[in-house]
Amino acid sequence: MLGTNQPVILHLLDTEPAVEALNAVKMELIDSGFPLLKGVFSSIIVVEAYTDVDIAIMVGGFPRKDEMERKNVMSKNVSIYKTQASALEKHASSNCKVLLVADPANTNALIFKICSLI
Of the two residues 103 and 78, the one the predictor is more confident about is 78
Q: Supply the pTM of this predicted model.
A: 0.82
The residues facing 10 across adjacent strands are 40
Q: What is the domain partition of the chain in residue ranges?
A: 8-117
Encode pLDDT of 105-117 as tens digits. 777 788 888 877 7
Report, at the CATH architecture level, how domain 8-117 is classified: 3-Layer(aba) Sandwich (3.40)
Q: What mean pLDDT comes out for the span 38-53?
A: 95
Mutual angle of helices 70-91 and 105-117, in 10-degree steps: 50
Round to whole Å and give the CA distance between 18 and 117.
29
Mean pLDDT of 7-27: 95
CB 52 within 8 A of CB 10: no
Before 104, cis peptide (omega within 30)?
A: yes
The answer to whether residues 26 and 67 touch, using CB atoms and an 8 Å cutoff, is: no
With 80 as the cut, is the pLDDT of residue 19 above it? yes
